[in-house]
Amino acid sequence: MKFKNILLLALLALGACNTEPADTSKSVPQTGGVQLDRSDNPEWRHENLRLLPLVADASFVAEHAAAANYIGLKDAMAMPKFRIVEKKPFGRFDDHGAVNVLTVENRTNHPVFLMSGDVVKGGNQDRIIAEDMVVPPVAITDAPVFCVEQGRWQYREEDSGDAAAKKVYAFKGYYNVASGELRRTVKETKNQHEVWAKVGSITSANDATNGTSAYTGLEDSEAFVEARAQYLRYFDGKFDELENVVGVVAVNGNQIIGADVFAHPDLFKKQFPALLHSYITDAVTHKNRETLNESKLDMWMADFNQAWAKKGKADQKFYDQGMMIHFSHFSK
């Protein structure tokens, strides 16, 4: 869908005509319906993790009203009429190519948004969704994935739930959104070996190595789980009272992790609890105690603006039925 206005947070350009220092305590105006709130609000910071909200105006929200009806993978997997299963080989006893494809069965009345970075547990091995996609209501489709559990290729008995689930190797658990550095690896390399290497790096850094080299082995690290819980408690509900938040820019000390923008405040609220795990994992794994220089944020947002403005084949935003649903941007 073509927007009447292009998202533009012209941070550098706005300050170029003013000889006085910019007031960075206020929201940064722009012309595309979404603005970054750079307020130094202590409620948006816990230790080294800072989350800056991206707030939409009324016209942007109205234009994307249909996105409010979408649900995320976490909510969908709790519904009896939705499931993800191993892709069944066709015409052959074994099909190793099926490792990077799962079958998604959506028999609900909701369009389900699968976000690149969503991690599902079970099946023959845990997987990470490789790219953004929407599964329409009452539809069956395939989803591209990467393995995030190198040392297992068999169905866990404890995951079976029932005989029917075991027969199709159904995935019984949603983990959360993977760390920003793993999401970036998936997005930029599209390489299984690179994904495994990044999983190993993250689990090793958190002393969470396990028998099957699983990303979800982070749960075996008491130190990681305890640290994560503190961040989760702190940020729980932090943006509930702020109207029309559609995304955040996540900052770890003086390093910007990345940003996620969604089409509608309701979709952001549905995705945020799982997405928060992504930012926290980066903050715990690479604890950075330094302070971000505002000029560095200016430069990063200029790069963000350029990425957002791209059109055609270079456009990195995800669309469904002509409507922008999600945009993610990571630090280089």
Predicted pLDDT of residue 21: 38
Print pLDDT tens along the chain (332 aa): 444 443 433 333 333 334 343 443 344 434 368 999 999 899 999 999 999 999 999 999 999 999 999 999 999 999 999 999 998 765 545 555 578 999 999 999 999 999 999 999 999 999 999 999 999 999 999 999 999 999 876 666 555 455 555 544 578 899 999 999 999 999 999 999 999 999 999 999 999 988 899 999 999 999 999 999 999 999 999 999 899 999 999 999 999 999 999 999 999 999 999 999 999 999 999 999 999 999 999 999 999 999 999 999 899 999 999 999 999 999 98
* Contact (CB, 8 A) for 257 and 180: yes
Cβ atoms within 10 Å of 31's Cβ, excluding its own:
13
Give the E-state strand segments of 178-330 in sequence order: 245-252, 255-262, 318-320, 323-330
What value, to the nearest 5°, has the Cα angle with vertex 30 and ends 25 and 34? 90
Predicted pLDDT of residue 161: 54
* Contact (CB, 8 A) for 224 and 208: yes
Sign of CA dihedral 174, 114, 239, 260: positive
